[in-house]
């Protein structure tokens, strides 16, 4: 049996565990105010080409999203997102729990288009009833999206322009950012992300760390007293250096993108093999997540060889499922699975 359920089944890149053992008995200041965290922040700033950036190291994606959106918005504002957005569907109402509405727009392949945002916001701002409605206060996107698809640089530039023209912060959920930036189909860099977004986070949990997401605010001080809001949300680790060490390691010598490339190569081979075996994709696979549209026979067969995640039941009896590779997936594993699948 092979396991492609998700990209967070294994632990951390070995370099992280080695360093953790080395640092274990050194004494570090608490709450991220230590030298390792400082070093991690320096390396991330450099990788982002954002020397002034403010960086907060948090534990998980839902936590990062809720904390930052709460900190960004005023009471009368909500977050604009694709209806498929993770904050809208799969974070248990964490945004609403902070008092804010998720304002949804229809997605295209999991993405929000600049045009759709512009037209929604402009219509809102001239709507006679606008004062009785939740004001769009920011725009939330994910790169890659919840369907494993990618914004192109041109699309991100257009979104950024639309947002800045309307004074709306653009927020990118980068839970799998490594798997976007290292993808052959991706034409943007981390520097582009830092240049075009007002806040984003670099996912660690799914990209080589045990846990951890690095929130980057290129324009430091944009949100006052964010440390306190992070604490209030229960998002401040006492041993912050545990997060710092992971990002410091991942951002040394390009490790973050290197290990993402391995996941993408495995995903590419997996997709090729599945296509060759007659499987159809719900979305063209370009990152480490592959969404298959399976008929009942295919579902049964595939289930006999591997575990994966159910995604959506379709009316015609078919089902969309997700298979994911990670930095820890070996090419051997993929080949062995494909052979098995072919054999039986």
Beta carbon of residue 230, minimum distance to its own copies (angstroms, whole number): 8
User: Is residue 38 at the binding interface for its own copies, with CB under 8 A as the rule?
Assistant: no
Beta carbon of residue 49, minimum distance to its own copies (angstroms, whole number): 28
The DSSP bridge partners found for residue 139 are 80, 170
Q: Of 6 and 189, which CB lies nearer to its own copies in the complex structure?
A: 6
User: Is residue 106 at the binding interface for its own copies, with CB under 8 A as the rule?
Assistant: no
User: Is residue 70 at the binding interface for its own copies, with CB under 8 A as the rule?
Assistant: yes
Beta carbon of residue 329, minimum distance to its own copies (angstroms, whole number): 10
Among 108, 119, 152, 232, the residue binding its own copies under the rule CB under 8 A is 232
Name residues contacting its own copies, limited to 290-329 (CB under 8 A).
310, 313, 328
Q: What is the DSSP string of 160-224?
A: HHHHHHTT--EEEE-TTHHHHHTSTT----HHHHHHH-SEEEEE-TTTTSSS-EEEEESSTTSST
Q: Which helix (H) or strand (E) holds 228?
A: helix 226-232
Among 84, 233, 246, 298, the residue binding its own copies under the rule CB under 8 A is 233
Cα Dmax for the chain: 64
Listed in sequence order, the residues at least 6 apart from 107 whose beta carbon sits closer than 8 Å to its beta carbon are 82, 83, 84, 85, 145
Name residues contacting its own copies, limited to 248-287 (CB under 8 A).
none
Beta carbon of residue 276, minimum distance to its own copies (angstroms, whole number): 25
Among 60, 166, 187, 258, the residue binding its own copies under the rule CB under 8 A is 60
Residue pointed to by tokens 């402009």: 122
Beta carbon of residue 17, minimum distance to its own copies (angstroms, whole number): 5
Name residues contacting its own copies, limited to 141-170 (CB under 8 A).
none
Beta carbon of residue 16, minimum distance to its own copies (angstroms, whole number): 9
| Cα within 13 Å of Cα(96), Cβ side | 9
User: Is residue 29 at the binding interface for its own copies, with CB under 8 A as the rule?
Assistant: yes
User: Is residue 96 at the binding interface for its own copies, with CB under 8 A as the rule?
Assistant: yes
Residue 7, helix vs strand vs coil: coil
Of 44-52, 125-133, 159-167, 191-199: span binding its own copies (CB under 8 A): 125-133
From 94, 92, 279, 55, select the one nearest 174 (Cα to Cα).
55
């Amino acid at each position: 049996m092979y396991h492609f359920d998700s990209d967070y089944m294994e632990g951390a890149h070995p370099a992280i565990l080695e360093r953790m053992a080395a640092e274990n008995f050194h004494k570090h200041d608490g709450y991220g105010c230590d030298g390792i965290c400082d070093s991690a922040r320096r390396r991330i700033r450099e990788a982002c080409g954002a020397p002034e950036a403010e960086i907060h190291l948090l534990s998980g994606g839902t936590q990062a999203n809720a904390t930052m959106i709460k900190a960004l918005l005023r009471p009368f504002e909500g977050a604009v997102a694709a209806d498929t957005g993770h904050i809208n569907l799969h974070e248990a109402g964490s945004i609403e729990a902070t008092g804010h509405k998720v304002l949804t727009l229809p997605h295209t392949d999991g993405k929000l288009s600049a045009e759709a945002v512009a037209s929604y916001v402009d219509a809102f701002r001239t709507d006679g009833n606008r004062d009785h409605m939740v004001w769009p206060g920011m725009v939330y996107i994910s790169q890659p999206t919840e369907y494993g698809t990618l914004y192109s640089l041109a699309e991100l530039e257009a979104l950024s322009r639309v947002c800045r023209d309307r004074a709306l912060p653009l927020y990118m959920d980068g839970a799998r950012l490594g798997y976007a930036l290292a993808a052959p189909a991706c034409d943007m860099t981390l520097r582009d992300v830092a240049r075009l977004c007002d806040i984003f986070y670099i996912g660690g949990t799914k990209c080589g760390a045990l846990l951890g997401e690095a929130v980057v605010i290129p324009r430091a001080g944009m949100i006052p007293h964010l440390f306190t809001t992070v604490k209030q949300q229960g998002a401040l680790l006492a041993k912050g250096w545990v997060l710092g060490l992971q990002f410091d390691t991942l951002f040394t010598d390009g490790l973050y993108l290197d290990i993402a490339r391995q996941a993408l190569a495995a995903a590419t081979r997996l997709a090729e093999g599945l296509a060759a075996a007659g499987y159809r994709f719900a979305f063209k696979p370009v990152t480490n997540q592959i969404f298959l549209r399976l008929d009942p026979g295919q579902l049964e067969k595939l289930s006999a060889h591997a575990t994966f995640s159910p995604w959506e039941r379709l009316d015609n009896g078919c089902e969309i499922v997700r298979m994911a590779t990670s930095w820890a997936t070996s090419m051997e594993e993929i080949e062995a699975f494909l052979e098995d699948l072919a054999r039986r």
